A and B are shown apart, each in its own frame.
Chain A
Amino acid sequence: GSLSQRRLMDVRLGELPAWLATCNLSPQGLLGGVQRAWSSYYEKYINVRRGGAPGLSMLLAGYCLLSYGWNYQHISK
């Protein structure tokens, strides 16, 4: 379909700036984007009958990376 209706994973690399221009960057739009991202992750990995460790461990790994990135200045002394 047209650019604005495609999801992020279906957008090619060259079209990325154009796609970013079309998406809704107001607070409600960003909040909606975050909501959609979380709900898709939740539906896929956590809200299943027999989920396992990966659902939670991926979240924890992401948190580790993020906190390392925030504390990099302090660590690299």
Chain B
Amino acid sequence: VLHSTRSLHTAQQHWAPVPPLPEKGGEVRHGLIPEEFFQFLYPKTGVTGPYMLGTGLLLYLLSKEIYVINHETVAAATILSVIIYCIKKYGADVAAFADKLNEEKVATALTVKNEAIKYLETAIEEEKKEQWRVEGRSYLFDAKRNNVAMLLEANYRERLLRVYNEVKKRLDYQVALQTLKRQKEQDHMIQWVERNVVQSITPQQQKESIAKCILDLKALSKSAQAAV
């Protein structure tokens, strides 16, 4: 069961924002003794107090042979002098180089952050545009509805045309059938009449008609000769 009334992630997270690193480290005098020691002794002994303490301690250690001077002392002295010389000479350059490396790291992180911010901002713009587009829903659906109606109408009309064509074909068939029948009857009747007529011409009638034709031809030839 999720308690939907409980709000999540409300407290400020203690890692964000990360507190920045301090700019400089604690103060150290002569590279060895923290400044707090000098401040600690300042009220009682003033400025020269810690140096007097140091000198006294040194003389005490040397005189009581708590610190013996042997070959290692010489080695330590030379090494320390070389180290201090190197630090004094090249310290600034090394520091500048390290600072440059740091700057590059910070710059890459910043670019990443800015890229992410820009990307998210474009995403927000796109989202707003999409929300604006949603308002045009009604137009879209009207167009779709019109399309569907037109498809239905076209289909209906096509089918109507098909029905009409089919019916016409059947009627034409019937008409052609009747025409054919009538024509056949007509032809048959004509032939029958012709046959009967030809049969009825007896040989006698044939002779008479041939003689008549010859007479007619002679008459015609006479009139034709006269015409020529």
Chain A residues within 8 Å of B, Cβ to Cβ = 44-55, 57-58, 61, 68, 72, 75-76
Contact of B32 among A47, A48, A61, A76 (CB under 8 A): A61
Q: Decide if B24 touches A49 in the complex (CB within 8 Å).
A: yes
Question: Measured between alpha carbons, how far is A33 from B32 in the docked complex, in Å?
Answer: 24
On chain B, the residues within 8 Å of A48 by CB distance are: 21-25
Closest A residue by C-beta to B95 = A50
A-B contact pairs, 20 of them (CB 8 A): A46-B25, A48-B21, A48-B24, A48-B25, A49-B22, A50-B24, A51-B24, A51-B25, A52-B91, A53-B31, A53-B91, A54-B28, A54-B32, A55-B25, A57-B31, A58-B28, A58-B32, A58-B34, A75-B70, A75-B72
Chain B: number of interface residues, binned into ranges: 20 to 34
Chain A nearest Cβ from B122, distance in angstroms: 34
**Which residues on B sit within 8 Å (CB–CB) of A53?**
31, 87, 91
* B88-129 at interface with A (beta carbon < 8 Å): 91, 95, 99, 102
Main secondary structure of the interface of A (DSSP, over half): helix
Q: Which residue numbers of B lie inside 8 Å of A, CB to CB?
A: 21-26, 28, 31-32, 34, 65-68, 70, 72, 87, 91, 95, 99, 102
Known contacts A49-B102, A76-B65; is-contact A54 B25 (Cβ 8 Å)? yes
Q: A53-B87, A54-B25, A75-B72 are in contact. List 19 more A-B contacts (CB 8 A).
A: A44-B25, A44-B26, A45-B25, A45-B26, A46-B25, A47-B21, A48-B21, A49-B22, A49-B24, A49-B102, A50-B99, A51-B24, A52-B25, A53-B31, A53-B91, A54-B28, A68-B67, A75-B68, A75-B70
Inter-chain contact total with CB atoms closer than 8 Å: 49
B68's partner among A44, A52, A58, A76 (CB-CB below 8 A) is A76
Centre residue among A49, A68, A72 by max chain B CB count within 10 A = A49
**A72 — nearest CB in chain B belongs to which residue?**
B66
With a 10 A CB-CB cut-off, give which of B25, B28, B72, B87 has the most chain A CB atoms: B25
- The residue of chain A having its C-beta at the shortest distance from the C-beta of B29 within the complex is A54
In the complex formed, the residue of B with least CB distance to A69 is B66
Q: Note all chain A residues with C-beta closer than 8 A to B68.
A: 75-76
**Identity of the chain B residue whose Cβ is nearest the Cβ of A9 in the assembled complex:** B36
Cβ-defined contact, A54 with B31, below 8 A: yes
A32 to B122 Cα, complex, angstroms: 49
A54 to B31, CA, bound (A): 5
Distance (whole angstroms) from the CB of A4 to the closest CB of chain B: 24
